[in-house]
Structure 1
Amino acid sequence: MKSPKDINVLIGCETSGAMRDAFLARGFNAFSCDVLPADTPTNRHIQDDVRRVMHEGRWDLLCVMHPPCTRLCRAGQRWLYGPNKSHPKKLPKGRTWADMIAEFDEACALFEDCLNAPIPLRVIENPVMHKWAKERICDLPTPQIVQPWWFGEKAFKATGFYRMGGLPGLTATNKLTPPKHGTDEYKRWSAIFRAPPGPNRWKIRSKTFQGVADAAAHQWGNHALKVAA
């Protein structure tokens, strides 16, 4: 029977190490991977394109991918309408509509590559997608939508987990009661969406909460051990 240390886990498109470290804490042989360096020094991060790393052959069972969602989520839909009078919203500084379309195409391609990674058990994390992304990505499974407050985190962030290979949905571990809309506490829970513009806004909005990562490592890790038995 395999133990956690015998299972190589790839955490794609992650620099924070939150999901990687949660699997490491459970004893799995986990590595994160991204074209950017890790946020903190570690020998458990592979700085490379995940589309190359996923084909190395050593990831024999499980991967959790976090491809960029900026052009796929509902908040990014407004940039794809094109320059017309019905949608006069200004594009980001220095960007063109062609840039937005090209980035959307690349985001869809990367998501599909992660979805079809040659690894038996796969999870791809993204927020709720807009209609064009859903139409564009082939064989898109229905995601499980979770909230951090299901796992003891005082925060709102609807997160979709697209699961392949028979992985079960996550079960809530410590469901909190959300505060009433309009209260100061509600605003604090909404910090992810209220993040101010700036170069690090994407990193703030892509935060993986510890409670979610711990639940994923425990529940999906246990499922992987059963499959490997």
Structure 2
Amino acid sequence: MKPLRILIGCETSGIARRAFADRGHDVWSCDIEAAEDGSNRHIRCDIRNGILQEGWDLLAVMHPPCTRLCRSGRRWMSGPGKWTEPKQLPKGRSLDDMRAEFEEGVSIFTACWSAPIQRVAIENPEMNDLARDRMPADLPKPQMVQPFWFGERAYKATGWYLRGLPPLFATDLLQEPERGTAEWKVWNRVHRMPPSEERARLRSRSFPGMMNAAADQWGGWAEKKEAAA
């Protein structure tokens, strides 16, 4: 069976790239930053600058800028209603900064969703109303999954916006720990990370179990569709 040409966008960790590559696919990752693993199958570029038009069979976008698009980030963008003065701003930041980051997030997300690629999966939290107003009309609600569906001892609600791909199904569902226990605190380590320069990068890292499931399920689905075409 002919390998799929797969682009993993907005990823530096290589976790998703390696998962799909292990299944025999022709996989490349791209980001404006270098790959952590030094792979020669990583392209440093802005994903909006042409790479989306290079004939991919599947696009998985891992961590596009979402800080201003997600529900938790709305309070920095607007007060009551829409686009009113927010009650406060992050320390050292201006409203112009917030708006610029919002526009950047909208631009990257819509470019990826509108790419001429048949099968697309974009990871992003559930969006706030300001972001939804700017999204393409055909954007569906995200499928929300958790790492513990895939054998990872962790909580981190992960949204997948899908086109031409089926929802992920659990492959190794773990029993959740009792709330407040030491194990429950371990599962919440992503949310409990202390402030640091590396916090955003570490919080956005993919979980290998979830990426292995995606490579099996989405890669397998796409292979069958390509074979039947």
| TM-score strictly above 0.5 | yes
Equivalent residue number for residue 138 of structure 1: 136
Equivalent pair of 2:55/2:117 in contact (CA under 8 Å): no
CA RMSD of aligned residues (A): 2.0
Give the superposition deviation at 1:15.
0.3
| Structure 2 residue matching 1:55: 3-state secondary structure | helix
Instruction: Give the aligned residue type for 1:151.
Output: F
Instruction: Give the aligned residue type for 1:63.
Output: L
Instruction: Give the aligned residue type for 1:62.
Output: L
- Residues 85-134 of structure 1: per-residue CA shift (max 9 Å, x gap): x9644x33331011101211210121111111111111111122222222
Equivalent pair of 1:125/1:160 in contact (CA under 8 Å): yes
Matched, 1:155 2:154: yes
> Which is further off, 117-126 or 179-188?
179-188
Equivalent residue number for residue 184 of structure 1: 182
Matched, 1:79 2:76: yes
Equivalent residue number for residue 65 of structure 1: 61
Q: Please, what TM-score do these two structures have when normalized by structure 1?
A: 0.91
Equivalent residue number for residue 120 of structure 1: 118
Off by >4 Å, runs of 4+ in structure 1: none
Equivalent pair of 2:61/2:123 in contact (CA under 8 Å): yes
| Structure 2 residue matching 1:136: 3-state secondary structure | coil
Give the superposition deviation at 1:75.
2.2
> Which is further off, 185-194 or 11-20?
185-194
> Which is further off, 67-76 or 115-124?
67-76
Instruction: Give the aligned residue type for 1:178.
Output: E
Equivalent residue number for residue 98 of structure 1: 96
d(CA) in 1 for partners of 2:45 and 2:118? 21
- Residues 10-47 of structure 1: per-residue CA shift (max 9 Å, x gap): 00000001100000011111011001111121101000
Give the superposition deviation at 1:3.
2.8
d(CA) in 2 for partners of 1:208 and 1:46? 19
How many residues were matched structurally? 223
Give the superposition deviation at 1:212.
0.3
d(CA) in 1 for partners of 2:204 and 2:71? 14
Instruction: Give the aligned residue type for 1:29.
Output: D
Structure 1: gaps of 5 or more residues? none
Give the superposition deviation at 1:73.
1.6
Matched, 1:18 2:3: no
Task: Report % sequence identity.
Answer: 49
| Structure 2 residue matching 1:161: 3-state secondary structure | strand
Q: Please, what TM-score do these two structures have when normalized by structure 2?
A: 0.91
Instruction: Give the aligned residue type for 2:58.
Output: L
d(CA) in 1 for partners of 2:72 and 2:186? 20
Equivalent pair of 1:54/1:118 in contact (CA under 8 Å): no
d(CA) in 2 for partners of 1:22 and 1:225? 15
d(CA) in 2 for partners of 1:87 and 1:79? 6
Structure 2: gaps of 5 or more residues? 80-84
